[in-house]
Homo-oligomer: A and B are copies of this chain.
Amino acid sequence: MNREQLFEQIKKKKSYLCVGLDTDIEKLPKHLLKFDDPVFEFNKQIIDATKEFAVAYKPNTAFYEVMGSKGWDSLKKTLEYIPKECFTIADAKRGDIGNTSSLYARTFFKQMDFDAITLSPYMGEDSIKPFLEFNNKWVILLIHTSNKGALDFQHLELRDGRFLFEEVINASQQWATPEQMMYVVGATHVERIGEIRRLAPHHFFLVPGIGAQGGDLDAVSKAGFNEQCGLLVNSSRAIIYASNKEDFSEAARNEAKKLQQEMDKLLQWWYHF
């Protein structure tokens, strides 16, 4: 999916919600365990319940790998079930030397047909390049993450007074255009979002950390919007575990709808500004 198509979806659904499919088999409603593949069944019902309100889905690979080869199959089936108009993100946080990164790119862009993958920048340009060779596929680079440890290295001050995360933005803008690259910017340090928007005015940001991690949708959006919305705001646990009973998909739908309605208002605010 290209940027224009993504923006079309955002306008159509009046939403920039990404639903994180961090499906933990130990947290599933009990009545699903009778299914052959409870994780897929759960995801299927979550997708059906939220697709009206979500423009993107983001399974985190850790939750599937922990189930071994069976989990890998659940991930693949889940991806195939997501409606084609939704943007799909493999939250994999990979990155390796060039010939190895090529294999990861093949895994997530060809063997599976994800639109995007999250990558860690530590190994530099040649660890990212192989992912940029695919048409209409996206790299989503970790810049400023939502966890406490973000401060350990991402906030180190460089010789010229900038922070490491600023140099990651600067360098990576030489590798790819905003048509191919997005940035992960956590909602939990909202004061940074406006600064990062100034450094990268045209890039989409994938923003984790609202809901369970405590970030604030209103503040994040007002600091982060650009001319094409420029935000995909992720919520995982607050949506998919809104209830752990038989009504889980209805509860998920309500949470997703609530977020979409807030997003609709924020988008209106932005376009009248």
Contact = CB atoms under 8 A, between A and B. Distances in A.
A149 B161 contact: no
A150 to B, nearest CB: 6
Contacts of A101: 62
Contact of A159 (B66, B127, B147, B161): B161
A272 interface: no
A174 to B, nearest CB: 10
A4 to B, nearest CB: 30
Contact of A123 (B97, B149, B213): B149
A107 interface: yes
Interface stretch (A6-14, A47-55, A70-78, A132-140): A70-78
Given A63-B103, A124-B148, A94 B97 contact: no
Q: Which one of A60, A69, A164, A171 has the highest number of Cβ atoms from chain B below 10 Å of its Cβ?
A: A69
A269 B152 CA distance: 40
Contact of A156 (B96, B127, B167): B167
A106 interface: yes
Contacts of A106: 66
Chain A interface size range: 35 or more
A66 B92 CA distance: 13
A272 B104 CA distance: 45
B98 A127 contact: no
A113 B63 CA distance: 18
Q: Which one of A24, A146, A164 has the highest number of Cβ atoms from chain B below 10 Å of its Cβ?
A: A164
24 contacts: A66-B106, A66-B107, A68-B72, A68-B73, A68-B107, A68-B111, A69-B69, A69-B73, A93-B120, A120-B120, A122-B142, A123-B147, A123-B149, A123-B150, A124-B148, A124-B149, A124-B151, A124-B152, A125-B149, A126-B148, A152-B171, A157-B159, A158-B159, A159-B159
Given A127-B149, A153-B168, 13 more contacts: A66-B103, A69-B69, A69-B76, A72-B72, A93-B123, A97-B146, A120-B120, A121-B122, A122-B122, A124-B149, A124-B152, A153-B164, A157-B158
